[in-house]
Amino acid sequence: MIKRLGVAVAPPSPSISIKMSVFQNLVLITAISGFLGIASACSKGQCKLLDECSSDGDCEAGLYCFACPQGFSGSRCVRSTVTNPFKLLNNSLPFNKYAFLTTHNAYAIDGYPLHTPVPRVTFNNQEDMIAAQLNNGVRALMLDTYDFHGGVWMCHSFGGKCYDFTAFGPAIDYLKAVEAFLSANPEEIVTIILEDYVGPNGLTKVFTDAGLMKYWFPLSKMPKNGGDWPLVSDMVANNQRLLVFTSIKSKEASEVIAYQWNYMVENQYGDGGMKAGSCPNRAESSSLADKTKSLVLVNYFRSDPIKLETCVDNSGNLINMLQTCHAAAGNRWANFVAVDYYKRSEGGGSFQAVDTLNGKLLCGCNDVHACVPGSTAGACTT
């Protein structure tokens, strides 16, 4: 017996002591396991694709930490860059044998600084500035150009006109970012596709003022009957690394700017281009199966952009549409794939879509990483 405050108390039986010891050990083991689980969670640049994360710094190179509530719980590491096929494999094939990530309305950027005296009341399509888009692997920019305030501006139209409340900024600011990228990356090629509302010689002047004419790919070298384009390596060697297309036919003769529809076919943009199993051409384009045009562009974005939905739009459904448009284009894979909010996805997104296209174009594989270097005929690694 043990006396406590004058009261005799029986000591715990050996069986009770053993049970308490087991319980205490279980609590300790559980606590240690929880601690080790936290300690072993990836961080500091070690998290891989779709691993949970708390910041961009947790994710390995080429990934960033992103939340897509419609696609997965919490925040996970998803892709943030395109695989460069020129560096991974080669740049020795014709330009039309490669695929390039394209940003729809690349100029319509969240938070873009105001250049007019009134607030902007229009929709946005991208999050990154032009420099960031290009640095992340975007290689084609869809831009809407207007005569406005005595110069050429990037703008959404309202009734076919640019207004202070739909304008983004002077085109030269955007084009100078392209020039800086081409200057810093002498082996890269950029394509600009213009929805053009600019009067005579306005584009020539703004491209000249931006310092881009020295990179201009000449109209005389563009194939008009479905033939192959020059080799990328030759385009690089000749420093002819900027392709520009206009939507105004007369400018091909008057300003020597390529009329888009002489060289490219394109599917319907907006909601009409997102119907599963269907890939119709847009009104201005000839049929996607028209093989006298050697470039194919696939649009996949909503008529009215919904930012939170683009992470789903840019994922599996996008790749399914590329398959559909491949058949519609006479078994030709797209050279350009145009999306809104290009970095948003459920994992691989538009970056994986371009990797898939380059795999198909360069070696017949499902991913460019599966291509065997030096092979172009279906030699795929696992």
Per-residue pLDDT of the chain (382 residues; tens, 9 = 90+): 433 334 344 444 444 343 334 334 433 434 433 433 333 479 889 999 999 999 999 999 999 999 999 999 999 999 999 999 999 999 999 999 999 999 999 999 999 999 999 999 999 999 999 999 999 999 999 999 999 999 999 999 988 899 999 999 999 999 999 999 999 999 999 999 999 999 999 999 999 999 999 999 999 999 989 999 999 999 999 999 999 999 999 999 999 999 999 999 999 999 999 999 999 999 999 999 999 999 999 999 999 999 999 999 999 999 999 999 999 999 999 999 999 999 999 999 999 999 999 999 999 999 999 998 766 666 788 7
CA 281 from centroid of its chain's CA atoms: 22
Q: What are phi and psi of 147, to 5 degrees?
A: -75, 125
Q: Where are the alpha helices (DSSP H) in 169-239?
A: 171-184, 202-209, 232-237
Q: Look at residue 311 and give its three-state secondary structure.
A: helix
DSSP type of residue 94: B
Close Cβ partners of 113 (under 8 Å, ≥ 6 residues apart): 169
Tokens encoding 241: 């690394």
**Cα 301 to Cα 308: distance, rounded to the nearest angstrom:** 13
**Cα 39 to Cα 144: distance, rounded to the nearest angstrom:** 50
**151 strand-pairing partners:** 148
Name which of 184, 245, 193, 182 is nearest 215 in CA terms: 182
Strands (E), 26-125: 63-67, 75-79, 100-103
Answering whether pTM is above 0.85, one says: yes
Question: Which own/partner contact pairs does 173-178 have at CB distance under 8 Å and 24+ positions apart?
Answer: 174/106, 174/107, 174/130, 174/141, 174/143, 175/206, 175/207, 175/210, 175/212, 176/210, 176/211, 177/129, 177/130, 177/131, 177/134, 178/130, 178/134, 178/141, 178/210, 178/212, 178/242
CB 99 within 8 A of CB 333: yes
Helices 202-209 and 171-184 pack at an angle, to 10 degrees, of: 50
Residue whose pair of structure tokens reads 């990530």 in the numeric block: 101
Please give the pLDDT value at position 26: 36
Please give the pLDDT value at position 3: 37
Instruction: Determine whether 30 is exposed, middle or buried from the number of CB atoms within 10 Å of its CB (0-12, 13-18, 19+).
Output: exposed
Tokens encoding 250: 């007369």
Length of the chain: 382
**Cα 176 to Cα 153: distance, rounded to the nearest angstrom:** 13
Name which of 228, 283, 221 is nearest 258 in CA terms: 221
Please give the pLDDT value at position 375: 64
**Cα 347 to Cα 368: distance, rounded to the nearest angstrom:** 17
Q: What are phi and psi of 201, to 5 degrees?
A: 70, 0
> Using alpha carbons only, what angle is made at residue 273 by residues 268 and 278, rounded to the nearest 5 degrees?
105
Tokens encoding 375: 């092979």
Please give the pLDDT value at position 373: 78
The single-letter code of the amino acid at 154 is: M
Name which of 339, 308, 309, 305 is nearest 321 in CA terms: 339
